[in-house]
Chains A and B, each alone.
Chain A
Amino acid sequence: AQSVTQPDIHITVSEGASLELRCNYSYGATPYLFWYVQSPGQGLQLLLKYFSGDTLVQGIKGFEAEFKRSQSSFNLRKPSVHWSDAAEYFCAVGDRGSTLGRLYFGRGTQLTVWP
């Protein structure tokens, strides 16, 4: 069965510092990969997704993620964090070739940004 691991429950960074959020998945092949962000009281917003091709994916709000097949990882990065980036971040995988469309989510990483 598919599973998604986000090893860091909570990360704290200073504003302007770089950020990397880790995500590892367990899947028989290369799945579709997603990063979502959830601000307090809000639904989830898609940051970026990987389907195929270039393993470095650019998303909204200056985020990027790199798919590494050998490590089964899809880590999210941002070179300079802004205070408004404080939120919870979720990595998710979707079945390639599936007609079901359900997503499997990690438990999330809470990001705190210090001024």
Chain B
Amino acid sequence: GAGVSQSPSNKVTEKGKDVELRCDPISGHTALYWYRQSLGQGLEFLIYFQGNSAPDKSGLPSDRFSAERTGGSVSTLTIQRTQQEDSAVYLCASSLVARGGETQYFGPGTRLLVL
């Protein structure tokens, strides 16, 4: 079956511009996660959604970052007024439910470069 898909694959933007990154989770998965992978760093948790519950935004690095999930499926991560330190690979993952041991399935990521 189809896995997690993300678009665009690559995004180059100028400092100060806004960007939107999209994630399509596996059909039927109620939990969706965003992670950021910076050079030399591990994967940093950003935000997660579980069904219709309020998202856990505890990992968002600043108020320039926001995310929404429409209809319990597709999610969009928005970065406003991008900065060079936002350059990273943004990974989306989904799981059947949000639970400690549940396997998360990752998309290929969006590579963001802020000039």
- Which residues 57-104 of A have a CB within 8 angstroms of B? 90, 92, 94-104
Judge whether B101 and A96 touch: CB under 8 Å: yes
A44 CB to nearest chain B CB (Å)? 4
Which residue of chain A has the shortest Cβ distance to B4 in the bound complex? A43
Output the nearest chain A residue to B92 by Cβ-Cβ distance: A43
Q: Mark B78-114, 1 if CB is under 8 A from A, else 0.
A: 0000000000000101010111111111111100000
Binds A, one of B12-20, B36-44, B62-70: B36-44
In whole angstroms, how far apart are the Cα atoms of A96 and B100 in the complex? Answer: 5
Chain B interface, >50% SS class: loop
Distance from A23 Cβ to chain B, minimum over Cβ atoms (Å): 12
8 tightest A-B CB contacts, nearest first: A101-B98, A43-B106, A98-B100, A105-B43, A32-B101, A44-B106, A107-B42, A105-B42
Give the B-binding residues of A (Cβ under 8 A): 4, 31-32, 34, 36, 41-46, 49, 51, 90, 92, 94-108
The chain B residues found within 8 Å of chain A, CB to CB, are 3-4, 31, 33, 35, 40-45, 48, 50, 56, 59, 91, 93, 95, 97-109
25 CB-based A-B contacts, threshold 8 Å: A31-B100, A32-B101, A42-B108, A43-B3, A43-B91, A43-B106, A43-B108, A44-B43, A44-B106, A46-B103, A46-B105, A96-B101, A98-B100, A99-B50, A99-B100, A100-B48, A100-B56, A100-B98, A101-B50, A102-B33, A103-B43, A103-B104, A104-B45, A105-B44, A106-B42
